Amino acid sequence: MMFFGLEWYWWLLIAAVLAVSIPFKMKFVKWWSRREQEKKQHGKWGDDE
């Protein structure tokens, strides 16, 4: 049984990789936004932007 030229086990592998990578991506995005906010706060000289 093939979908788009790939066997079923390749789709299973792709789904497993996506399921594992999404939480890591969420953690990275949160870490990156926190890092950017810290950079902005250290670069400020007052409350003006």
Q: What are the pLDDT digits (tens) for 6-16? A: 788 888 999 99
Say how far apart CA 20 and CA 17 lie, in whole Å.
5
CB 49 within 8 A of CB 40: no
CB 1 within 8 A of CB 8: yes
Q: What are the pLDDT digits (tens) for 3-41? A: 677 788 888 999 999 999 999 999 999 999 999 888 877
For residue 41, give the nearest of 13, 30, 33 by alpha carbon: 33
Note the pTM of the prediction, 2 decimals: 0.51
Q: Which residues are CB-contacts of 7 (< 8 A; sequence separation ≥ 6)?
A: 1
Tokens 């979908």 label which residue?
A: 3
